[in-house]
Chains A and B, each alone.
Chain A
Amino acid sequence: MTQIILNGLFVGSFYALIALGYSMVYGIIKLLNFAHGDIFMFGAYIGMTCLTVIPGIGSLGIGAIAIVLLISALLTGATGVLIETLAYRPLRSAPRLSVLITAVGMSFLLEYGVRQIWGPDPQPWPQAGRLTEAANWPAGLQWGAQRIDILGGSLTGAQLVLMALAVVLMAVLALYIGKTREGRAMRAIALDKRAATLMGINVNATISRVFFIGSALAGVAGVMHGAYYSSITFLMGFLLGLKAFTAAVIGGIGNLYGAMLGGLTLGLLEAFGTAWFGGEWKDVFAFVFLIAFLTLRPTGILGERVVERM
């Protein structure tokens, strides 16, 4: 039981990190960014490439992963900004359908662009960047590759580190959105873009910033995924992106805490579903929950009641 909960929370923290990007973008420009899951995948590929290309990085052990995380976050963030500027911005006043289709096209471009460069087969994550390898953990931190007992269940140290990282990132993001000038601008645009413009907020710059942060988080999640699961494919963003979106909806789309809560909830639901119904149905649960939530409570757990307009 505890083990199921722990597994669920671990997977859920991935969902939450990706869901944040979905939710932020949706909150600010009401766009369902289909390419978001693929940014996650792209982040993993960037990470993998860095680990193979940068000379001497293999000897750094756990430090290598930290460096790669940073590079990957910056590059995916930039990719997100680029996508927004080139593909979404010109269509900002176009019908919603056009923008959605463009997002699907972008997702395709990322998936098959990556396939073009790195090939269609799953890629092994370099040994030096694997969190599960005991050799990568410096002396004194050997617990990182071992299992640690928690309340009758157990997680590996790597899992704990990743969860902690996710929590830290989310806390920083919450502070940024809640306390800073830029965060306030984001919230203002989410509420009323036109009024925000009139108040002198640079809407384009703020939207770019949102894309940067959301994509960077997805990139981080991509590297974490690679470092933990040791194998990446060009299609891995599709399913994970879908689930992250489900998480965002469950939590209440457009709401940051909702995305975090939704991610963990979905992780738990999936863990229990797998335990009870078998692993082959794992991918179906998320969508069944999605449909159930949209039917029963479309605003999600934390979503506010919107003024009812028929």
Chain B
Amino acid sequence: MSLPMIDPSALLTTHPEAVPRPETLLEVKNLRLAFGGVVAVDGLNMNVHRGEIVSVIGPNGAGKTSAFNCITGFYRPDSGEIAFMGKSIIRTRPSKITRMGMARTFQNLRLFSDMSILDNVRTGAHAHLRQHWFDAFLHTPAYRKTERACEEDARYWLDFVGFTGDTLLYVTQLPYGEQRRVEIARALATNPKLLLLDEPAAGLNHTEKRGLVDLIRRVRDLDIAVVLIEHDMGLVMDISERIIVLNYGKEIADGAPDDIRANPLVIEAYLGAGDDEEPADGADQASADPGQPLPPAPPSLPEASATADRSDGGEARR
């Protein structure tokens, strides 16, 4: 691992270790979210502890992305409690939650398409970059200093995720796998304590997936807990320290990979109803939730659902 000898935390105005971290980062209790009559998340309970890698799995339409969206503040749950670092984050703006130290990526790559790669990642530093617009207007020394730190920070994270190309390119000029990397770098630049990855391996080839596993482990080594939604079981079993299985918006199992593999409820959820045959109301659920691919897309066809979802999903949300 050849990283430049920059300590990212030295460049940031708020030192990540300045705030003591509780052992339990995220606590979700009885979370419930319904779209009209369709219950997407139904009494979900889950915890994420400091420095662990947790996977959230479940058949399509199980409410994984909906749960993610509630946790990150994009959806307002109907009831339940979400606490991050001991503080309730119900009814908190997503940006505020990000500032508290929770970063996320999106199921369908959502980079800023008309901005350069460097600017994309620099935007991640928005929350902890202390820069007044008036300084930018006057190009004061304070502006130059913060901007330089921000750029070095961004370059550090691009190196960290293994991006080696030209950082001044527009993201749309990058191949898919590289865009995924940039998105993770952008999330890391927010200086998180908890990173939520929504299907990070979708659309990646075998080599890229191996790189991703390595990357997630290195992120964890920075004392950043990682929660991922993933369909690739090989990857999930390989990387996770704990797996949470959702079905019909409830958690049906929570444990080490080996326990999950042997759990009869999990096997039933995947095989009983069938992974490919959508349960009847699961389909409705997916259509109500713009985050879920529709029709149930196998993870090997991410680009098709990604582009379609981007236009329609984004529309519904705005």
| A–B contact (CB under 8 angstroms) | yes
Which A residues form the contact surface with B (CB < 8 A)?
30, 93, 96, 192-195, 198, 307-310
Nearest CB in chain B: distance from A98 CB, A:
12
Q: Is the interface of B mostly helix, strand, loop or mixed?
A: mixed
B308 in complex: contacting residue of A30, A194, A307, CB < 8 Å: A194
Number of interface residues of B (CB under 8 A): 16
Contact between A193 and B75, CB atoms less than 8 A apart:
no
**Known A194-B294, A195-B287, A198-B295: A307·B35 in contact at CB below 8 Å:** yes
Task: Using A195-B287, A198-B295 as known contacts, say yes or no to A307 and B312 having CB atoms under 8 A apart.
Answer: no
Proximity bits, B279-318, A CB within 8 Å = 1, else 0? 0000000010000001100000000000010011001010
Asked if A193 and B312 make an inter-chain contact with CB atoms under 8 angstroms apart, the answer reads: yes
B99 located at the interface, meaning its Cβ lies under 8 Å from any Cβ of chain A in the complex: no
- Whether A93 pairs with B295 at a CB distance below 8 angstroms is no
Known interface pairs A30-B315, A308-B75, A310-B93; 17 further A-B residue pairs with C-beta atoms within 8 A, sorted by A's residue number: A93-B311, A96-B315, A192-B312, A193-B312, A194-B294, A194-B308, A194-B312, A195-B287, A195-B294, A198-B295, A307-B35, A307-B36, A307-B75, A308-B76, A309-B76, A309-B317, A310-B74
- B311: which A residues are within 8 A, CB to CB? 93
Once bound together, how far apart are the Cα atoms of A122 and B113, in whole Å? 47
A-B contact pairs, 11 of them (CB 8 A): A93-B311, A96-B315, A192-B287, A195-B287, A307-B35, A307-B36, A308-B75, A309-B74, A309-B76, A310-B74, A310-B76
Q: Is B73 part of the contact surface with A, judged by Cβ < 8 Å?
A: yes
> A94 to chain B: closest CB distance in Å?
9
- Chain A nearest Cβ from B301, distance in angstroms: 15
Whole-angstrom distance between the alpha carbons of A93 and B294 in the complex? 18
Closest to B77 in A: A308
In the bound complex, what is the Cα–Cα distance between A303 and B246 (angstroms)? 34
Q: How far is the CB of B97 from chain A (nearest CB, A)?
A: 10
Name A194's closest neighbour in chain B (CB-CB): B312
Which B residues are CB-close (under 8 A) to A307? 35-36, 75
Most buried by A among B73, B94, B308, B311: B311
**Complex alpha-carbon distance, A96 and B73, angstroms:** 24
Provide the residues of chain A in CB contact with B315, threshold 8 Å.
Answer: 30, 96
Q: Which of chain B's residues has its CB closest to A308's CB? A: B76
CB distance from B123 to the nearest CB of A (A): 18
Chain A, Cβ-Cβ closest to B310? A93
